[in-house]
Amino acid sequence: MAYARFGSDSDVYVYADTSGGYTCERCPAIGQAFHCSSATEMVTHLLAHRAKGQLVPDDAIGDLQREMD
């Protein structure tokens, strides 16, 4: 499942990895894929993107936060 895809409203492509956890593909923060094991870690990662002025859709963060509950 993709939480965010590259586009006019998103600088990130984030999905639930089929091997487990979550991936921020071609992550603009590190120049390669960022992998983590929990929704909490990915939310923290996406908030860091926002802090750098990068676009992250609200829905992506909201969907991941619901998975944390």
Question: Could you tell me the pLDDT band of residue 48, with boundaries at 50, 70 and 90?
Answer: very high
Structural domain range at position 43: 2-68
Compute the mean pLDDT over every residue in the chain, rounded to the nearest whole number: 94
Question: What domain count does the chain have?
Answer: 1
- Position 29 pLDDT exceeds 90: no
Question: Could you tell me the pLDDT band of residue 7, with boundaries at 50, 70 and 90?
Answer: very high
Spatial strand order of the sheet with 2-4 comes to 2-4, 13-16, 22-25, 34-36
- Position 28 pLDDT exceeds 90: no
- Position 40 pLDDT exceeds 90: yes
As a whole-number percent, the residues of the chain with pLDDT over 90 amount to 88
Rounded Cα gap, residues 57 and 45, in angstroms: 13
